[in-house]
Structure 1
């Protein structure tokens, strides 16, 4: 692979924790480590009504006045549906070994169940084949938040029938693509699509109701395990089945005060709620006693056993830490997050603190579970302002974050954590949900008017790093032989 020139602008010192294990190279991770980037259907595909695709809850939600900044939507997005071969060529040029993407449920089952849209399945056939032609192992996420509108009309995640609907969808995808897709993720960040979509109302379907949140959360927990079982029944023994969790390293605002108990309660909701049921531990109700009787309204005999599933890996998706304080105004968890802007720390365009060490702490936390499977970092990234100037996007802050985050993964790995891969979020810029097209996470810049792609300096650094360059003080030294 041809290596591009490195750039030597100074990098913000705040991005490099003193504990980052520098210098290091790709070779330090070993030959089997997975290096990838991630994407999601609604955020990138566009083609929202193309070739028989049905509408999703995000198609509906983006029509609501005030729901999305600047009234934007994902009807075209990054036009990945038409440009996937170009984007996969770029992924291959980066030196990636793996590419994570999601399927749009409504593209293959426009009504969510029943009649199959063959043209939608054909698209994912072509996409998988295109990955394999470029030596990119596909990692397919079944559900990345875009529920078919037809199922939402029946209650969506608040309807217990969704467990069966989702299992049917999983079986369809496994039968069609299981001979070529070696790794699968069942759900993407259930706490986000359940919490932001059913309690806070800031994501689709835009509900704000504690009962809706609890029902959706329980049904998502069941679907997570049932989806895993549906895949395992149909896929080859060699296939790896996982699911992904959003998680943040949590610290108390004022140690030694009520903030510490609030932090434990927040951890039970934000980090443990969907993980522990998969291990047969049930929900973390010891820290949240009220949760027990609230959930009893939706649980049925045998559910605790049905929630458990022996995943081959967990996808860890971490962007920041959160600082927690006691709050008497938030029932159930009695805890609130202190915004980074109020704490005088560096933060990204999403308002998230720049704290790469969070990824190390979360890897240590999740690996501490007895019977924890292998961990993959399936999302990690940062959003900062970007602009193309003379054919180049200089993004030293993102480049520094990427370097520091990878260093924290190596730190955990050197301490015995079984972490087997790192997937940057995201391959290209994309539609960032309620934030619209403002925040840019991509390694590759997208001009949304022309759909022109430009590799950012962060992407060029990742390309060099995967070619075997040695990282020292934020700069790439002489390249050595690339190792897969």
Structure 2
């Protein structure tokens, strides 16, 4: 099968996040985050799993960087634990936490890997949650202070700084469905949290640029196209509403200085004068996380998506064409900066047998999505890089350790890392791209 062709300077990488891999939650001055609190609350996660140890990356980061280098990859996207660097989310900074990210960035650079930092991947310091968390507008100001310090600390060495990862998850899963920390179930709170997240993003970009931070600045959004289950007006209206709430709710304020209106969208946040001016800062890049499409059915029970190409271990439809549909649609609707696919990957029921993990479904998933991505680039979408999610099997939030997304298998009892067949495939694919 012929490989799709990508530009010669296209960046190939992998991604992780702090709480999912670092462990060492009570070491070297780190303060608790909302995910420490949530995961230790009975009934919130599969098997009561926590990120206390996770992949022990805090102690094994050099080994993990060596894995990335061994795969021949040029980029690594990681997130910074706010409470490791500033235990209460305001006030005193933790020198040992700051030094850890200095070591990580320097180690990446020594191996020829460009570091791409994300400031916030859902692990708000518990001290700020105790004062209202993201529902408190003041948290946007505390985040801005944090962003400036980290930007000044790392901005001369990292290739990019993203403010937030997937604010939809923080707002909706954390404050509407209650599946994620802090576990609230209040729809009005969720839209207000979404607004404060976007406000914090814009204020942080303004402040980092004013402080002279050199790194390119952006945000990472999880996005999907929406397919109506039929041509009925009810399904089409539901699809419009789902797209407005999932994609446009975050894109429109940044690019159009407004929230979307769509049939059935009736909850809106309190917005102060000049908020949209603050949010709509120019982006140096946009990170897009894509896993599957949204299927909009008003039937009761809803008609399921066709899933012709199967489903992942998360139960998500495998639909590579959705990545092409999404990107072409975004290009049509917005004046976009350069795009990075900052996450794409699948959970698979992987098993280590005689030192090998045969994860053929993941290879098929990757191949299909990379083919779709190459078609999007051919259609004129300016995509500069791709980060597979994830480097390692890791702590998968409320699913605990039950779901495996990694290119590298982790035996959580021993912390033994084993390259899966997909890791070998990705290494060889990237090598063939370089040889063209």
Same-fold call, TM cutoff 0.5 = yes
* Structure 1 residue aligned with 2:122: 145
Is the 1:312–1:373 contact (alpha carbons within 8 Å) kept by the matching residues of 2? yes
Q: CA deviation at 1:287?
A: 4.1
Q: CA deviation at 1:79?
A: 0.7
Answering whether residue 223 of structure 2 is matched by residue 247 of structure 1, we say yes
Residue number among 130, 136, 139 corresponding to 1:162 in the alignment? 139
Answering whether residue 85 of structure 2 is matched by residue 121 of structure 1, we say no
Supply the distance in 1 between the matched residues of 2:405 and 2:6 (Cα, whole angstroms): 24
Aligned pair count reads 436
Q: CA deviation at 1:214?
A: 1.9
* Structure 2 residue aligned with 1:312: 284
Supply the distance in 2 between the matched residues of 1:289 and 1:405 (Cα, whole angstroms): 31
Any runs of at least 4 consecutive aligned residues in structure 1 with deviations exceeding 6 A, and if so which?
342-345
What secondary structure is seen at the aligned counterpart in 1 of 2:358?
coil
Residue number among 260, 275, 279 corresponding to 1:284 in the alignment? 260
What secondary structure is seen at the aligned counterpart in 2 of 1:230?
helix
Structure-to-structure mapping, 1:70-81, within 5 angstroms = 70-81=47-58
Structure-to-structure mapping, 1:382-461, within 5 angstroms = 382-461=346-425
* Structure 2 residue aligned with 1:265: 241
| Deviations, residues 412-469 of structure 1 (Å, cap 9, x unaligned) | 1111111111100000100000111111010000000000000000000000011116
Is the 1:280–1:307 contact (alpha carbons within 8 Å) kept by the matching residues of 2? no
| Deviations, residues 119-149 of structure 1 (Å, cap 9, x unaligned) | 0000000000001001000000000000000
What secondary structure is seen at the aligned counterpart in 2 of 1:232?
helix
Q: CA deviation at 1:23?
A: 2.0
Q: CA deviation at 1:257?
A: 3.2
Supply the distance in 2 between the matched residues of 1:337 and 1:211 (Cα, whole angstroms): 25
Answering whether residue 22 of structure 2 is matched by residue 23 of structure 1, we say no
Supply the distance in 2 between the matched residues of 1:191 and 1:288 (Cα, whole angstroms): 18
* Structure 1 residue aligned with 2:38: 61
* Structure 2 residue aligned with 1:101: 78
| Deviations, residues 332-370 of structure 1 (Å, cap 9, x unaligned) | xxxx97555x86761111110011111111111222234
Is the 1:348–1:384 contact (alpha carbons within 8 Å) kept by the matching residues of 2? yes
Answering whether residue 170 of structure 2 is matched by residue 206 of structure 1, we say no
TM-score, L = length of structure 2: 0.96
| Deviations, residues 6-31 of structure 1 (Å, cap 9, x unaligned) | xxxxxxxxxxxxxxxx6225xx2122
| Deviations, residues 221-258 of structure 1 (Å, cap 9, x unaligned) | 10111122222223455x21111111112101122331
Supply the distance in 1 between the matched residues of 2:413 and 2:423 (Cα, whole angstroms): 21
Alpha-carbon distance change, 288 to 222 in structure 1, aligned in 2, over 3 angstroms: farther
Q: Which runs of no fewer than 5 residues in structure 2 stay unpaired?
A: none
Greater relative CO, 1 or 2 (CA 8 Å, sep 6+): 1
User: Which has the higher mean CA deviation after the structures are superposed, 354-363 or 342-351?
Assistant: 342-351
Answering whether residue 198 of structure 2 is matched by residue 221 of structure 1, we say yes
Supply the distance in 2 between the matched residues of 1:206 and 1:91 (Cα, whole angstroms): 34
Is the 1:268–1:287 contact (alpha carbons within 8 Å) kept by the matching residues of 2? no
Supply the distance in 2 between the matched residues of 1:370 and 1:248 (Cα, whole angstroms): 15
Alpha-carbon distance change, 201 to 32 in structure 1, aligned in 2, over 3 angstroms: same
Is the 1:322–1:337 contact (alpha carbons within 8 Å) kept by the matching residues of 2? no
| Deviations, residues 70-100 of structure 1 (Å, cap 9, x unaligned) | 1101000011101111111010111111000
Structure-to-structure mapping, 1:243-392, within 5 angstroms = 243-288=219-264, 290-291=266-267, 294-295=268-269, 298-326=270-298, 339-340=304-305, 346-392=310-356
What secondary structure is seen at the aligned counterpart in 2 of 1:315?
strand
What secondary structure is seen at the aligned counterpart in 2 of 1:99?
strand
Q: Which runs of no fewer than 5 residues in structure 1 stay unpaired?
A: 1-21, 329-335, 470-480
Supply the distance in 2 between the matched residues of 1:29 and 1:114 (Cα, whole angstroms): 46
What secondary structure is seen at the aligned counterpart in 2 of 1:273?
helix
Give the root-mean-square deviation of aligned CA atoms. 1.7
Supply the distance in 2 between the matched residues of 1:171 and 1:339 (Cα, whole angstroms): 45
* Structure 2 residue aligned with 1:7: none
